[in-house]
Amino acid sequence: MSIEVLLVEDSPGDARLTQEAFREANSRIHLHVASDGVEAMAFLRQEGNYAHAPRPDFILLDLNLPKMDGREVLAHIKSDESLKTIPTIILTTSNAEADIVRSYQLQANCYLTKPVQLDDFEALVKSINEFWLTKVKLPQQR
């Protein structure tokens, strides 16, 4: 059974890097990429091109995005009855206290900063996989 993960990331480099890291960590993971907030919401609500998009088991959300930023996306997800159960993890370069506090206020499930070093980043992705995608019990509704 594959695990559907939605990565909301505007930087293709970062997206690819994350994809590479997840590939190394768990081959069952199916990573979908949305490059901005609007696209992410369309994916989640299965609108337009994403009419047949799967409901993700897990969302990795960057904060700084074009069109609709990560905070808005988070707010939409957590105020949507059908989407709020999906674990949403903030993965960003921002270290700012304000961003951290704001994210948890908006009920982010956890806040992670992207490590600068590739090794650290790979280690982080591994631990996400081990924790969130392996150990954590997720709701089974699709």
Partner 1 sequence: MKPFLKQKVLIAFGLAILALLFIGTTSYRWMTVSDESTRWVWHTHEILLNIQDLLLSMERIDSSSREFASTGKESVLEPYHASVQRVAEDREAIRSLTLDNGIQQRQLPAVAKLAAEKIQHADRVINLRRTQGLAAATAALGSESDKQIKDEFQAAVDNLQSEELRLQAQRSAKTEWYSNQSKIFLILGTLFAILVISATGWTTVRDISNRKAAEARYRGLLEAAPDGMVVVDQSGAIVLLNVQAEKHFGYRSDELLGQKVTNIIPEGFAERLIADGTRTAAEALAQQIGTGIELYGRRKDGSEFPIEIMLSPLESAEGILVTAAIRDITTRKDAERHLAQMEARYRGLLEAAPDGMVVVDQSGAIILLNVQAEKHFGYRSDELLGQKVTNIIPEGFAERLIADGTRTTAEALAQQIGTGIELYGRRKDGSEFPIEIMLSPLESTEGILVTAAIRDITVRREAEANLAQKVEELNRSNEELEQFAYIASHDLQEPLRMVASYTQLLSKRYKGRLDSDADEFIAFAVDGASRMQRLIQDLLAYSRVGKKGGELLDVSSEESLLLAINNLRGAIEDSGALVTHDPLPRVMADEVQLTQLLQNLVGNAIKYQKPGVPLIHISAVRNAEGMWLFSIRDNGLGIDSQFFEKIFGMFQRLHKREEFAGTGMGLAICKKIVERHGGEISVESQPGVGSTFHFTLAASKAQS
Binding residues for partner 1, rule: CB under 8 A, are 11, 13-14, 17, 20, 93, 96, 114, 116-119, 121
> Cα separation of 79 and 107, whole Å?
10
Closest contact distance (angstroms) between CB of 121 and partner 1 is 7
Q: Which is nearer to partner 1, 44 or 124 (CB)?
A: 124
Burial of 49-68, coded b for 16+ CB within 10 Å and e otherwise, reads: ebeebeebbbbbbbbebeeb
Containing H/E element for 59?
A: strand 58-61
Closest contact distance (angstroms) between CB of 91 and partner 1 is 13
Q: Which is nearer to partner 1, 3 or 60 (CB)?
A: 60
Q: Which is nearer to partner 1, 17 or 38 (CB)?
A: 17
> Cα separation of 117 and 135, whole Å?
26
Closest contact distance (angstroms) between CB of 118 and partner 1 is 4
Q: Please name the residue that has the structure tokens 């995005």.
A: 65
Q: Please name the residue that has the structure tokens 């700012």.
A: 96
Q: Which is nearer to partner 1, 118 or 136 (CB)?
A: 118
Closest contact distance (angstroms) between CB of 99 and partner 1 is 12
